[in-house]
Amino acid sequence: MGSSKAQSPPYPSAARISDSECYPAYTASLKCLEVYNSDKSKCQEHFDVYKECKKKEREARLERNRAGLSSREIFGS
């Protein structure tokens, strides 16, 4: 049953990590773990940077929600 409309993703509110402003911090954390053979103690600074980025990203999303902007208005979907 074909439809001429493109189907929307099954979870339209689910964001991909690669779409996040924190993606560079995320990949740096993974790279650090790779370099130091998963020794988390060597990568704490990377984890802290990523955690702070995600906190700011979450706060910005909450602020947009308070302002009444829908995800469609924000992301143009």
Q: How many helices (H) and strands (E) does the chain have?
A: 3, 0
Dihedral angle over CA of 32, 34, 39, 44, nearest 10: 20
* Contact of 13 with 71, CB cutoff 8 Å: yes
pLDDT at 6 over 90: no
pTM over 0.85: no
pLDDT in tens, 16-66: 888 899 999 999 999 999 999 999 999 999 999 999 999 999 999 899 888
Rounded to whole angstroms, the Cα distance separating 21 from 52 reads 12
Per-residue confidence at 4, pLDDT binned at 50, 70, 90?
Answer: very low
